[in-house]
Amino acid sequence: MKTLSQQIVDEKFFRKQKSGKIKCLLCRHYCELSEGQTGICGVNKNENGKLVNLVYGRVAALNIDPIEKKPLYHFLPGTTALSLGTVGCNMQCSFCQNWQISQEKIVLQKDFISPGQMVELALKYKAKTIAYTYNEPTIFYPYARDIAILARQHNIRSVFVTNGIESEEVVKDMPGIIDAANVDFKAYDEKYYKRELKAPFAVRETLQLMKKVGLWVEVTTLIIPGINDQPEHLKKIADFIAQKLGTETPWHLSAFHPDYKMRDRGATPVMTLEKAYEIGKKAGLEFIYIGNVGMKKNITYCPNCHKPLIERLGYQLLANRIVDGKCVYCHTKIPGIWN
C-alpha cells in the first residue's frame, strides 16, 4: 500500500508561499492551495504544507493500444503502447469522450499499481511505449515521471497525450524522461479556452517549449461544427504550426462526435476535414492526417519524391517504406522517431 510520504510530490513541483499557501507547479493554472484544499484538477492537494498527488498509483483506465491510436504517426509505427490514465482533469471540455474519468474528482481505485509494476506490465505485453493518456497526464506527472524513468532502463519510451497546459516547470523536466507528445490544439481563441474549457490559452507556449527542449511533437485539432470549423480559424492553427513549430510537424484533423454535454450538433462532415487538410497544405505543412471517420486510409508521403512511405488503414499498419529514418526511394530523411 502506498504511504502518504510516497504520495508527496517532489518540492520542485510546488512552492511555499508567504501567505502559508502552496502553489502547485504541475500545470498553467498554478493553483494556490490552502491547507486541505485541492486544485482545479481535483487530485493534487495541500496536506500539511506539502503537495500530495491523490491519484499516484491509482489507475482508472489501462489498455494496450496501437501507437497510431494516440495518435502518433511518426513515432515507432506499428508498435503498441501500454496506455494508462487516472481520474481528474484541469479542463472542463463539454465534448470530452472520456468524461467518466476525466470529470470525476473522487478517487475510488483501491488497487495500487507501483511504477515498477507498470513497467513489468509493459514488458509482459511487449509494449515499446508507455502512453499517459485518457485524462490529462500533467496532473499525475509525479506518477508518470517515476514510471518513465524506470521504463527507460528497459528501452521503453514514454509519450504524453495532452491538452497542452503543462507548466513550464514540467516541460523543462521532460527531456530524457518523456520522448514525445501529441498535443490537442482545441481552438485559436483565448476567450473560448477561458469560457468553455475553463483553462488558460497556453497551448502555443507549451508546444513551442516542447519543441525547444527536444520532444517529438504532433498536434491534433478536434474540429467541431460551429466552434472551430471556420476556414479562417483553421488557417490560424495551421499557420502557427508551420511558422512556430515547423512544417515537418504532423497535424491530425479529428472528427467530432456528439458526446457528454455537447449533443446539440452533428458529427463533423468529412468535407470539413478535407477542407482543413487543404488549408494545412497551403500553410506548408508536409504531414496532415484525417482521423476518427471510420476506415479512411492515411498515408505518409515523402515530402521530396512524394511516394507513399507509410500506409495505414484505421490503426492498422499496411506498409512501412522508411528505412533507417529515410525514404527508401530517394533517401530523404523523414522527421520522426522510427527506432
Q: What angle do CA 179, 1, 21 make, to 5 degrees?
A: 70
- The proportion of the chain whose per-residue pLDDT surpasses 90, expressed as a percent, equals 93
**203 in the same domain as 313:** no
pLDDT for res 2: 47
Span 82-101, average pLDDT: 95
pLDDT for res 1: 42
**253 in the same domain as 128:** yes
Span 201-229, average pLDDT: 97
**pLDDT-based confidence at residue 292 (cuts at 50, 70, 90):** confident
**Structural domain harbouring 42:** 4-53
Q: Among residues 115, 141, 123, which one has the least CA distance to residue 82?
A: 123
**308 in the same domain as 177:** no
**289 in the same domain as 306:** no
Domains identified in the chain, total number = 3
**235 in the same domain as 125:** yes
Q: Does 198 score more than 60 pLDDT?
A: yes
**132 in the same domain as 10:** no
Which cell goes with 285?
505543412
pLDDT for res 76: 98
Which cell goes with 263?
449533443
Boundary residue ending a domain (53, 70, 90): 53
**256 in the same domain as 276:** yes
Query: What pLDDT, in 10s, does the model give residues 98-145?
Result: 999 999 988 888 899 999 999 999 999 999 999 999 999 999 999 999
pLDDT for res 242: 98
**193 in the same domain as 84:** yes
pLDDT for res 19: 93
Question: Model pTM?
Answer: 0.96
Cis bond before residue 71 (omega within 30° of 0): yes
Is beta strand 322-323 parallel, antiparallel or unpaired with respect to 32-33?
unpaired
Q: Does 3 score more than 70 pLDDT?
A: no
Q: Does 310 score more than 80 pLDDT?
A: yes
3-state secondary structure the chain: CCCHHHHECCHHHEEECCCCCEEECCECCCCEECCCCECCCCCEEEECCEEEECCCCCCCEEEEEEHHHCCCCCECCCCEEEEEECCCCCCCCCCCCCHHHHCCCCCCCCCCCCHHHHHHHHHHCCCCEEEECCCCHHHHHHHHHHHHHHHHCCCCEEEEEECCCECHHHHHHCCCCCCEEEEECCCCCHHHHHHHHCCCCCHHHHHHHHHHHCCEEEEEEEECCCCCCCHHHHHHHHHHHHHHHCCCCCEEEEECCCECCECCCCCCCHHHHHHHHHHHHHCCCCCEEEECCCCCEEEEECCCCCCEEEEEECCEEEEECEECCEECCCCCECCCECC
Give the Cα separation of 143 and 129 in Å (integer): 16
| Phi-psi region at 227: left, alpha or beta (left = phi > 0; alpha = psi -120 to 50) | alpha
**pLDDT-based confidence at residue 6 (cuts at 50, 70, 90):** low
CB atoms within 10 A of CB 246: 14
**pLDDT-based confidence at residue 239 (cuts at 50, 70, 90):** very high
**90 in the same domain as 77:** yes
Q: Among residues 262, 221, 253, 269, which one has the least CA distance to residue 93?
A: 262
pLDDT for res 181: 98
Is beta strand 216-223 parallel, antiparallel or unpaired with respect to 180-184?
parallel
**CATH code of the domain covering residue 201:** 3.20.20.70
**244 in the same domain as 109:** yes
Query: What pLDDT, in 10s, does the model give residues 250-282?
Result: 999 999 999 999 999 999 999 999 999 999 999
**321 in the same domain as 244:** no
Q: Among residues 247, 248, 264, 246, which one has the least CA distance to residue 256?
A: 264
- The proportion of the chain whose per-residue pLDDT surpasses 70, expressed as a percent, equals 98
What's phi and psi for 39, nearest 5 deg?
A: -70, 180
**pLDDT-based confidence at residue 295 (cuts at 50, 70, 90):** low
Average pLDDT over the chain reads 95
**330 in the same domain as 182:** no
